[in-house]
Amino acid sequence: MDRSWQVVVMYIMTHLSLIFFLYPRNIIASSNEGHWMLIVVGLIIHFIIITVYTKGLNYCPNKDIISIYLGVGKGVAVLFLLPITVFFIAISIITVRAYSEIILITFLSKTPLWSILTLLFLVSAYLASKGVEVIFRTGVLIACLFFPLIILIFCSSFQNTDWHYAFPIMNKQFSFFTNSSFYVSFFAIGGSFLFLGFIQPFLTFQRKKIFLGAIILIPCYILAVYIPLLTFGQNTASTLMYPLVMALDTVELNWLMFDRVTSFFLLSLITFTMLFISLFLWNTVRIFNTCFPSIKPIYFILSITIFNFIISLLIPDWDTIEKLFVWNSFLRFFVMFAVPISVYFCGKRLWREGNIGKI
């Protein structure tokens, strides 16, 4: 059955959990002017990689990327699935640990870190244990609850903006290419699309609707950066750890049930993140279960969750989290470029072999 709209909703939600969190800070820190240029570069790369990736998946419509790689050879499967597995585990640890930091700062300053990590990991593990269909149905329900109010919040976020802060609009030296923060920002560009290769044949989707989801994300990338820029200006925004959250904290909506807009906004992001982590945990378990089919998936879920929890506890502070984001960039770029290209060529090869066999 075609589940394109469920897939599109999940595609949008998993990206929003990354876009609205650290992406604004990384882009603002990468350049003093012409921030739209950095956004455009990232979006162009985003559309290129999902074009190549989905085209490769279309060659084998009833197979996931595990089957595609194994169809070419075990060596190819190990070469690509091992980095993907490490990437999934690393991104889960870094994301949950980073979000737990903002939860401590904003909501629960006196709550021990281990209890917050336990909540985030347990909810994600529970959803992963229920399977991909439950994750996607939950995603649609959460989207119906949170999307309308998020749209209203962003429509109201311009009440304190100054459009003079948008200038100058050009970075003629393209200096951002030499700034490490620019490359860390690709965490929100290429950190979430891989799940499209794992959900087939459980959930089928139309390629063109994925592009619709990517188009919907374009204003989100822009607003995430320019709302804090237009509210505080470059000099002030560049000093903030969470510039978008701070900008939304200046918005006053008397009709909202929460005392502050940021309370609702962060609650929605945390919910999106738990779905994001549960989906990546399910993807990781799929890989492990293919390697060790005799072991029940629930044991993998528990083992990976406990491992992620322990490693997250060992991360001492925010400075270490930022270093992990930088160190993870090398693996992220490998996954961003090598996986879509390899899926394209492997899928095309299997498609040709299948057609030759029919002649």
- Residue 284 confidence (pLDDT): 93
| Torsion, Cα of 284, 288, 289, 294 (10° steps) | -150
User: Residue range 296-311: average pLDDT?
Assistant: 92
User: Residue range 212-219: average pLDDT?
Assistant: 92
- Residue 89 confidence (pLDDT): 92
- Sequence-separated (6 or more) residues with CB below 8 Å from residue 342: 56, 69, 76, 80
- Residue 324 confidence (pLDDT): 86
User: Residue range 119-127: average pLDDT?
Assistant: 92
Q: Which has more confidence, 189 or 304?
A: 304
Task: Find which of 159-163, 266-270, 351-355 is predicted with most confidence, using mean pLDDT.
Answer: 266-270
User: Residue range 337-348: average pLDDT?
Assistant: 92
Neighbours of 90 (CB within 10 A): 17
User: Residue range 268-287: average pLDDT?
Assistant: 90
Give CA–CA dist 40/222, Å, rounded: 9
Q: What is the CATH number of domain 4-358?
A: 1.20.1740.10
Report whether pLDDT(357) > 50.
no
Buried b (16+ CB within 10 A) or exposed e, 214-229: beebeebbebbbbbbb
Contact 20, 244 (CB under 8 A): yes
Quick: pLDDT tens for 47-80.
999 999 999 999 888 888 999 999 888 898 899 9
- Residue 164 confidence (pLDDT): 83
Neighbours of 84 (CB within 10 A): 23
Contact 95, 248 (CB under 8 A): no
Q: What is the pTM of this model?
A: 0.89
Nearest to 20 by CA among 232, 254, 192: 192
Nearest to 237 by CA among 245, 228, 248, 224: 228
How wide is the angle at C-alpha 63 spanned by C-alphas 61 and 69, nearest 5°? 125
User: Residue range 192-201: average pLDDT?
Assistant: 86
Q: Where are the domains of the chain?
A: 4-358
Report whether pLDDT(92) > 80.
yes
Give CA–CA dist 220/11, Å, rounded: 13
Question: What is the overall mean pLDDT for the chain?
Answer: 86
- Residue 359 confidence (pLDDT): 35
- Residue 172 confidence (pLDDT): 76
Quick: pLDDT tens for 18-56.
888 888 888 988 888 888 999 999 999 999 999 999 999
In degrees rounded to 5, what are phi and psi of residue 44?
-60, -45
Report whether pLDDT(356) > 50.
no
Report whether pLDDT(213) > 80.
yes
Nearest to 116 by CA among 135, 102, 128: 102
